[in-house]
Structure 1
Amino acid sequence: MDFNNNSWESGVRFVEERKPKKFMRFLGLILIVFFSASIGGILGGYYVKKNYDNGYVYQEKSQENIKNLSQNNETADIPKNSINQVADAVGPAIVGVDNNVRTWGGGTALQGSGSGIIFDKSGYIVTNEHVIDGATNVTVTLPGGKKLPAKVIGSDIRTDLAVLKINATNLPVAKFGDSSKVRVGDTAIAIGNPLGEEFAGSVTAGVVSAVNRKLYLDGKVYRLIQTDASINPGNSGGALCNTAGEVIGINTLKNVDAEGMGFAIPINEAIPIIQSLMKNGYVSRPYIGIEYQFIDEDTAKENQVPIGGYVVRVVRDGAAEKAGILPGDIIVALDGANIDTSDSLTEILSKHKVGDVVTMKIYRSGRYQNVQIKLQDSNGR
């Protein structure tokens, strides 16, 4: 590229310095154009004034017409949809729950937080057991920001539920629905405090992805409602609602390896636990008093024994010991139902109450025998 020759590869030339003669001709041309434009401006102004003298009034009227038009076309209040209505109905009954622990200095520090549901206007709240686990004290934050100390009435690690009580009256309450009527594809609305108070009362919506979903966690079996409504840390203990504004589940788990996989405890399963916690402070369950390992079909064939529950340990003074059950026995049936899955015993026991006498069929030293066993309370009461 040669700048000395005032040229560029694109073909565009730089502006060259003009000679005096050419400059005078150019100046004359500019004066002619300026004079013509001035004459045209004067004549144009006269014409406008003569023919459009009321132009300013017209502009005012135009603005007024636009204003009237805007007023006549104001957007009407948008009717509330089902999610709006659920948020209005249930939102005021959702609280924050803080898990506080004592520090070395004698004070307290926040260990974790979750959500809770007010279900009784005198101050009873249901939340998850893991939300308040290990707490020195628990604080509840009401909608609006008011904080109150809460008493733990009772908790149940097996179902991950807990009941709290605050000293307050005439509180808004959430209505419990019927989780047995929940269908896959139903609208699901989650309300809670994801990530703490900063996002209190957050509402997310999706659908019921599955019902009666079985999950194993920390040695416990849960049967849960699955939803793709966003459930995040802090939502635990909050409400999963239907479009009628009824609580159908208590949010508890999320699959962190996949988006849109949250889980809630069905409210029909939660209600008897809540009632037991309010009445006794604990959940009374029938208990055999053994530790066992499940023998599946392959293991049974390999060892030439029946499918069932292999007794590893017998609890001292428990129902099984009193009935003569020994380590090494294989429980093949209870109350006439075969032990053919790893959670068969739990499912059968859940249909009974403390004090019931049931027949247990066991396999011992190559022989089958029936044993009568009186079910005890899992809490030792």
Structure 2
Amino acid sequence: MDNEFNDENKSQNKGLNEPHIPQEIDAVIVESKSNSDSSGSSGFSGYSSYSSFSAPSSPKPKLSKKLAGVVALCLTSAMIGGLTTVTLLPRIYPNLLSSNQTALTTSSLSPISTVSNSSQFPVTQIAKTVGPAVVGVSNFQSPQNRFSRQNSSSSGLQEAGTGSGFIIDAQKGYIVTNNHVIDGAQKITVSLSDGRTLDAKLVGADARTDLAVLQISDTKNLTAVTLGDSTKLEVGASVVAIGNPGGNDFARSVTTGVISATNRTLDIQGESSFGLIQTDAAINPGNSGGPLVDYQGKVIGINSAKYAQSGFEGMGFSIPISDALPTIQQLIQKGVATHPALYVSINDQYNTYAQSNNLPQGAYVAEATSGGPADKAGIKQGDVITKINDTTIQNSSDLVRELYKYKVGDKISVTFVRSGKSQVVQATLGEINSNQ
């Protein structure tokens, strides 16, 4: 299962409201083919062919003995002069030959063996180290109709979808995946790298962050991942994605790429709570819940979505592991995740109206729950929240992402516009959990 979003998705399911992206013309490389290539050869085309020819021979002139002696003397002097120059040149210009030494020594006819640097190209080692910690996750639900029995279990449940996950605690059998991978599951199974398929228990799930934690009881020979720090990511850094695209037939597939961007936003439930990592490493249906790994073999993200609009490729998105970890820890400890909240309902349709009427962009308060933090701070229906502390807010996603940076009970400054006038109030953040 994967969060795929495209033009069709805008009016379906999650009601995505994506910005229009101008269509681009693909660059086309035209290769000219030589008309003389009629043999069907698969070699390069577009090159002219030349016929070999022999020049007519002419008699070689004979040198006199005197002239031969002069020629020999000149050749000997030239050789001595050349050797002297080669010997003295490094002493006179010590840096002249050093820069060209490699080119001189490698321009031989024999093939040169290249030894790969494991610190720069450790993909094989990453696959060996992290691969065993990646699992396949199957979501079983009741069949939609009595004729649908494909991939059904003995209990009559049908495999509704598959995804990926990774072992975060080998001793206790904890596995991290996406909430949308296991959403609605009546039974969950996990396939391990050693061939075992085990039933898994849902420890906790949180739709607001699209995260879930599973647990398996048989912890024999499990391998856990090492977590990295996603707050220190750099655009252009190499990464590896590992998962089960298309299900267990392609289990633990490894794809490589780079970090294309950080702090990307998507209007998808769960993913909208984070500034996401964008990568061009191939992310396909079934990769959801699998790890995005840096070149030190540490997990820096949880693969969660891909851009599936026609004409686009290489646009996958991952939840930063440092942002996800607090929710994961809560799910393990309490079975639910709690988040800070203002207890307001936001209507983003206001922003379209605001653009047309030269009004400030922000999070339009459609309702403030009575007795909630916003209501207590004096925020009312019709107010437009424009800042949380010093951070600008332009829509509901901005508001959620910013609030999730704080803790329940934290005091924040809320700037809002009412009747054209800006006001600032103090609010104490309340609590909302996974079950609400």
Q: TM-score, normalised by structure 2?
A: 0.63
2:130 corresponds to: 90
| 8 Å Cα contact 2:275/2:401 also seen in 1 | no
Secondary structure at 1:216 match in 2: coil
Segment of structure 1 superposing worse, 125-134 or 219-228: 219-228
Query: Which structure carries more helix by proportion?
Result: 1
2:10 corresponds to: none
Segment of structure 1 superposing worse, 86-95 or 170-179: 170-179
Segment of structure 1 superposing worse, 347-356 or 262-271: 347-356
CA pair 367-138 structure 1, distance change in 2 beyond 3 A: same
Distance 1:339 1:195 in 2: 38
In the alignment of these two chains, the number of paired residues is 305
Distance 1:125 1:249 in 2: 14
Equivalent residues in 2 for 1:77-226, closer than 5 Å: 82-103=122-143, 107-121=156-170, 122-169=172-219, 170-218=221-269, 221=272, 222-226=274-278
Task: Find out whether 1:325 has 2:379 as its counterpart.
Answer: yes
Look up the equivalent residue of 1:185 and give its one-letter code.
G
Equivalent residues in 2 for 1:12-91, closer than 5 Å: 82-91=122-131
Residue segments in structure 2 that go unaligned for 5+ positions in a row = 1-114, 147-154
Distance 2:135 2:394 in 1: 43
Q: TM-score, normalised by structure 1?
A: 0.71
Residue segments in structure 1 that go unaligned for 5+ positions in a row = 1-76
Equivalent residues in 2 for 1:306-325, closer than 5 Å: 306-325=360-379
Look up the equivalent residue of 1:374 and give its one-letter code.
T
1:245 to 297, 302, 310: 297
Distance 2:321 2:134 in 1: 15
CA pair 361-183 structure 1, distance change in 2 beyond 3 A: closer
2:399 to 345, 352, 374: 345
Distance 2:398 2:307 in 1: 26
Secondary structure at 1:259 match in 2: coil
2:315 to 246, 261, 264: 261
| 8 Å Cα contact 1:297/1:307 also seen in 2 | no
CA pair 165-312 structure 1, distance change in 2 beyond 3 A: same
> What's the CA shift string for 1:112-149, capped at 9, x where partnerless?
00111001012000011110011111111111321111
Secondary structure at 1:273 match in 2: helix
Name the Cα RMSD after superposition.
Answer: 3.0
Identity %, equivalent residues: 47
Structure with the greater relative contact order (CA < 8 A, sep ≥ 6): 1 or 2? 2
**Alpha-carbon shift at residue 341 of structure 1 (Å):** 5.5
Distance 1:223 1:172 in 2: 29
Task: Find out whether 1:236 has 2:288 as its counterpart.
Answer: yes
Distance 2:340 2:259 in 1: 32
> What's the CA shift string for 1:232-260, capped at 9, x where partnerless?
11111111112221112111111223222
> What's the CA shift string for 1:281-339, capped at 9, x where partnerless?
22211111111235559827837x65543221122443223444321233344435554
2:18 corresponds to: none
Query: Which structure carries more strand by proportion?
Result: 1
